[in-house]
Structure 1
């Protein structure tokens, strides 16, 4: 099953013309895909810009950068493992467990790091926490959209 979506096209001085855009069953809408990518870009960019401008030691900046990358990877890995299990694709218990463990550890490291950071004011801690959570959520959503789009294309 596919869905049709009307798109208005501006033809200059002429009247607007409707074009049918076909979307496969189960495929996310272009708006949702765009919003997911935008959220990932905003979250990661805000985090990195804040980190670049922060008045902290380079090793501390490296810690927060590594925690971001680790968290993004762990979140995508876990999302893939969960989807694979749901779709009947074999996933070993050890990989599934490590995926959960890695995400929990990355979030814990972020929380512990922010809690113990004496050089960061409370508003900055909140900024880093929120941009971190936004980035992780967006990475999961982007990965889901990529997988759903590929699956919809493979069906037809």
Structure 2
């Protein structure tokens, strides 16, 4: 066992539940706004894709940062791409909402808050999933195999 595993604590059921509820509320708010919006289908697709892209980028960045903190190899390129992807998704949402003439200010706010809440909650959910896997001992053999076979190991 590594010393990071020794320090890992099992997330409480309250934190796990709160994280999932926050994720579902954020995504639900965003999707209800999209469903009820009076915009073309291609515009709805744009906002849907931004949410999916943003969620992936946030989870990828969180995993990369945590891997580095736990001395699991992560290339600078991947870490940089994770940061760029998250920033791009945030910028594209801001630009899209700024230029959305058909949306009122309150609708724009709902999208922004739903997006931000979803990104934050996705990071918390991913952290819980990883901590539970580590606590149960499910992740360690895979991590050891990755460390021993990774040609980019530092």
Selected match of 2:86 from 84, 91, 103: 103
5+ residue gaps, structure 2: 1-6, 139-154
Provide the TM-score with structure 1 as the length reference. Answer: 0.82
Partner residue, 1:41:
24
1: distance between equivalents of 2:121 and 2:82?
17
Q: What is the deviation of 1:98?
A: 0.2
2: distance between equivalents of 1:105 and 1:98?
10
Name the one with the larger helix percent: 2
Provide the TM-score with structure 2 as the length reference. Answer: 0.83
Partner residue, 1:17:
none
Q: Is 2:77 the counterpart of 1:94?
A: yes
2: distance between equivalents of 1:153 and 1:55?
47
Q: Is 2:30 the counterpart of 1:31?
A: no
Q: What is the deviation of 1:149?
A: 1.1
Work out which of the two has the higher radius of gyration on C-alpha atoms and give 1 or 2. 1
Q: What is the deviation of 1:35?
A: 0.4
Q: Following superposition of structure 1 onto structure 2, how do residues 4-153 of structure 1 map, counting pairs within 5 Å?
A: 26-153=9-136
Q: Deviations over 1:123-148 (max 9, x none)?
A: 00000000000000000000001111
2: distance between equivalents of 1:32 and 1:86?
22
